Structure 1
Amino acid sequence: MSTAPGGWSLRALAQEAHVLPKVARDAAEEGVIDAQHTVETDIVLVRLYGALKRLVWPEERRPANKDQGLRVWEAITIETARAALPDEVQDDTGLFVHQTGCELATGPGPHCLALFKLADQPFYYAPLGLWFNQLPSRRLTTEESQEKVGV
């Protein structure tokens, strides 16, 4: 993926990910992204990290004032997303996040399979394909193709 000249600042990553700058700093501190060598796809990882840090599963106790590292399922989810970006991500790719990890799904069949598998437990759906298509370089590509088609 493209990199902004000199890399992306944590503030720019946070702004593009629609999270607070503190979330991007925390993601860098916890090793989700490398603050010295940021790339555009880090926007998706920061956005995912911000969503995961807010999740509290039923019967889970997480004191708000206590700083905690990545939970195991958070680390699994972030690494699954990192491995999928950008090559395995399509428009309908999503992550079904649950208490023990996640399911990466692309297409109606895998989405249904994940829904059936997780029907009796809480889960969070992260629309990776949508977030990936909202990256600055992808927005330009989409806008250019719409202009060519005359939309």
Structure 2
Amino acid sequence: MRSDNWSLRKIASEAGVLPKVARDAAAEGVIDAAYLVETDVVLVRLYGALKRLVWPEERRPANQDQGLRVWEAITVETARAAIPDDITPDSALFIHQTGCTLASGPGPYCQALFKLADQPFYFAPIGKWFEELPSRRQARGLALEPEAV
């Protein structure tokens, strides 16, 4: 969905992150600052969460920019490929040190949890984040209006 009124500041605001996070996401190629779209909100929100992750036994100096780690790039590309066609309200990414698993629903959640039982992981509810986009909120509002009458 193309919208000419998206800016890095607005993307950051909708994602609930600092504008610097959106600028960094653009600098690292997560989003294209010249062609911003609404779904970039989800990618920036995910990027902001990933940049804060440090796995056990991983050394990562806070004052040194290291670019996207391999598992971060895999996760961002998995999310980008899934949005919007493969996303449902219960879609989530189970992010681990070697990549991620996209799952939707109880069965796939259990399968991902079983696979990751002995290692640390991060759960990113990208389906929920997608449903919080302004156009999705408006669509739900419009869908609920006729029933309320």
TM-score, L = length of structure 1: 0.96
- Counterpart position of 1:51: 49
Matched residues in 1 for 2:76 and 2:15: separation? 15
Q: Secondary structure at the match of 1:95?
A: strand
Q: Secondary structure at the match of 1:65?
A: coil
Matched residues in 2 for 1:44 and 1:133: separation? 10
Alignment equivalent of 2:143, drawn from 133, 140, 145? 145
Matched residues in 1 for 2:30 and 2:147: separation? 38
- Counterpart position of 2:123: 125
Matched residues in 1 for 2:122 and 2:147: separation? 36
Alignment equivalent of 1:19, drawn from 1, 17, 20? 17
Q: 1:38 to 1:7 in 2, by over 3 A?
A: farther
2:29 paired with 1:31: yes
Deviations 1:57-97 (A, max 9, x none): 00001000001100000000000000000000001100000
Deviations 1:2-54 (A, max 9, x none): x33x2511000000000000000000000000000011100000000000000
Matched residues in 1 for 2:132 and 2:98: separation? 28
Matched residues in 1 for 2:85 and 2:118: separation? 31
Displacement over 3 Å in runs of 4+: none
Number of aligned positions between the proteins: 149
TM-score, L = length of structure 2: 0.97
Q: Secondary structure at the match of 1:70?
A: coil
Matched residues in 2 for 1:146 and 1:51: separation? 32
- Counterpart position of 1:71: 69
Alignment gaps of 5+ in structure 2 = none
Percent of pairs with identical residues: 72
Alignment gaps of 5+ in structure 1 = none
Matched residues in 2 for 1:74 and 1:41: separation? 18
Matched residues in 1 for 2:139 and 2:75: separation? 28
Aligned-pair distance for 1:147?
A: 1.9
RMSD: 1.1
